[in-house]
Amino acid sequence: MKPASRKPGPQKKGRGDSARTRTAAPAPAMLAIRPRPPGTTAALVLADGTVFWGRGIGAAGLRTGEVCFNTSMTGYQEILTDPSYAGQIITFTFPHIGNVGANLEDIETTTPAARGLILRADISEPQNFRASQHLDAWLKSYDMVGIAGLDTRALTRRIRDLGAPNGTLCHAPDGVIDIEVLKRQAREWPGLEGMDLALEVTCRQTYSWDQTRWQFGKGYGTQDKPAHHVVAIDYGAKRNILRCLASSGCKVTVVPATASAADVMRHQPDGIFLSNGPGDPAATGQYAVPVIRELLATGTPLFGICLGHQMLALALGGRTTKLPRGHRGANHPVKDLATGKVEITSQNHGFVVVPESLPADVEVTHVSLFDKTNEGLRVKDKPVFSVQYHPEASPGPTDSHYLFERFVRLMETR
């Protein structure tokens, strides 16, 4: 995985998010439905009836999901293959999507779970020595539907001010698009709140992982002398998280999201990892939280990321809530409260832990400098900690790699 670039310049108000009550700016009126421009072969229709016309890219078809936006300047292939985007249609705010092409290395899962993508400009021609395929051909190979030529600034402002809407995306090469059908599908889609999507993206059987992080001139390596054994519960795990664990000297055994505590502990792990994943943590937590509580009782070191962080909080007695627009980008500043250090982080989450709901023996360790929402926690008297953001995604580029080292130290001192 290539390190993500920082976006230069000051951040504009509204880039962050908050679960706290605040005075909202007047919401913009619904965008007017303009006449269909000539030559359009795709449309995005929101649940409120707003219509965006454009040119179809990728596969032909129709997809419905939550429309979100991501502000990253690099890493579009990793974003599109991140299992945490299950159920979502991704709007890229950066215009030059496709400029490094696509390849077989920069993927986070075998089958992408994102519902579709939205671009301002047509896909750029690849200009990178690692490119093995044009992005449009790559999209078609995974049956992923997209639209280009859409006013992404207007759509992003709409999401910022009114929250992430449900939407239906249609790419029809013959130009036949029924707006009323798309509108109805967008309105009828239930939304992510209350939706368990981990079952859609988890592995179906246990497997071992030994691939290490990518290095220039060498590619991916292999961990053949592990010092520790980690069992990772796969709620939608990104491959680069597993690579980081392997690079830290760990043999990794990956088990499905529905694994029991006995299934985990029969591998005799030195540490337990709770992975990232999509959907509502409260929904996935119906079966995952009781297992996590049993694992906490064993005293085994435990580390969680993203959805794993949220479900750990639920297992400890906390609560989660849905953010109006979420955190998705590679330039989010997070403060480590213990050291005062600020990390530039990669984020992708629509739900957040409510810090006031955490019990007295759980300490908040990290906060977002965009909106002060929770970004990390630890249990004071146990070798247990988690973060909301993605330390494996390298936007800093190495600002957050210490978290894997911390996990290893906990296993060494157990």
Residue 395: predicted pLDDT: 86
Length of the chain: 414
Domains of the chain: 42-188 (3.50.30.20), 198-412 (3.40.50.880)
Residue 394: predicted pLDDT: 84
Q: How far is CA 314 from the centre of its chain?
A: 19
Question: How high is the mean pLDDT in each 10-residue block of the chain (414 residues)?
Answer: 40 41 43 78 97 98 98 96 98 96 95 96 96 98 97 96 97 97 98 97 98 94 97 98 98 98 98 98 98 98 98 98 94 96 97 98 98 98 98 90 97 93
Q: Give bridge partners of residue 89 from the DSSP assignment.
A: 67, 116
- Maximum alpha-carbon separation in the chain: 66
Calculate the dihedral angle through the C-alpha atoms of 393, 396, 401, 403, rounding to the nearest 10 degrees: -90
Dist. CA 1–CA 84, nearest whole Å: 17
Residue 414: predicted pLDDT: 84
CB 235 within 8 A of CB 386: no
DSSP 7-68: PPSPPPTTSS--SS--PPPPPPPPPP-PPPPTT--EEEEETTS-EEEEEEEES-EEEEEEEE
Active site residue ranges: 306, 390, 392
Alpha-carbon distances of 363 from 23, 115, 162, 237, 293, rounded to whole Å: 29, 36, 32, 25, 18
